[in-house]
Amino acid sequence: MGQFMGNAAVACLLIPMMLIAGKGIRRVVLVFDALYLPTAIIAGLLGLLLGPQVTGRFFPEASLLHHGVFPPAVFEIWSQMPQLLISVVFAGLFIGKPIPGLRAVWGLGGPQAMLGYAISFGQYAVGLAATILLLAPVFGINPLAGVLLEISLSGGHGTAAGLAPTFAELGFEEGQDLALGLATVGLVAGVVLGTAFVNYAVRSDRITIAREEPPEGDEGFELSAIQDNENPDHKPAPSTTADPFSLHLGLVAVAIAIGYVLLKSLQFVEHHTWGAITGDLMGYVPLFPMAMIGGAILQAFLGATGLQPWVNRDLVNRISGTALDFIIVSAMATLSLSSIGRNWQPFVILAVVGMAWTVFCFWALAPRMIPDRWFEKGIGDFGQGTGMAVSGLLLMRIADPENKSRALESFGYKQLPFEPFLGGGLITALALPLCARFGPVVMLALTGTAAIICAITGMLLFGRES
Mean pLDDT of the residues in the chain: 84
375 φ/ψ angles, rounded to the nearest 5 degrees? -70, -50
Query: Looking at residues 84-106, what average pLDDT do you find?
Result: 81
Judged against a pLDDT cut of 50, whether residue 466 lies above it is answered with: no
- Give Cα separations from 211 to 200, 397, 404 (angstroms): 11, 9, 9
Strand, coil or helix: 409: helix
Which has more pLDDT, 64 or 290? Answer: 290
Structure confidence at residue 231 (pLDDT):
52
Q: Who's near 233: CB < 8 A, 6+ residues apart?
A: none
Judged against a pLDDT cut of 70, whether residue 160 lies above it is answered with: yes
Judged against a pLDDT cut of 90, whether residue 117 lies above it is answered with: yes
- pLDDT tens-digit map of 428-457: 989 999 999 999 999 999 999 999 999 999
Q: Angle at Cα 37 formed by Cα 399 and Cα 388, nearest 5°?
A: 65
CB of 250 within 8 A of CB of 311? Answer: no
Structure confidence at residue 442 (pLDDT):
96
Query: Looking at residues 312-323, what average pLDDT do you find?
Result: 86
- pLDDT tens-digit map of 363-395: 999 999 998 889 989 999 998 899 777 778 778
Tell me the domain boundaries of the chain: 2-79, 85-214+224-465
The CA distance from 346 to 129, in Å, is: 13
- First-to-final CA distance of the chain: 63
Strand, coil or helix: 63: coil
CB of 75 within 8 A of CB of 329? Answer: no
100, burial (CB in 10 Å: exposed 0-12, middle 13-18, buried 19+): middle
The CA distance from 318 to 160, in Å, is: 22
What is the torsion angle, in degrees rounded to the nearest 10, for the CA atoms of residue 170, residue 174, residue 175 and residue 178? 180
Least confident among 132-136, 216-220, 368-372? 216-220
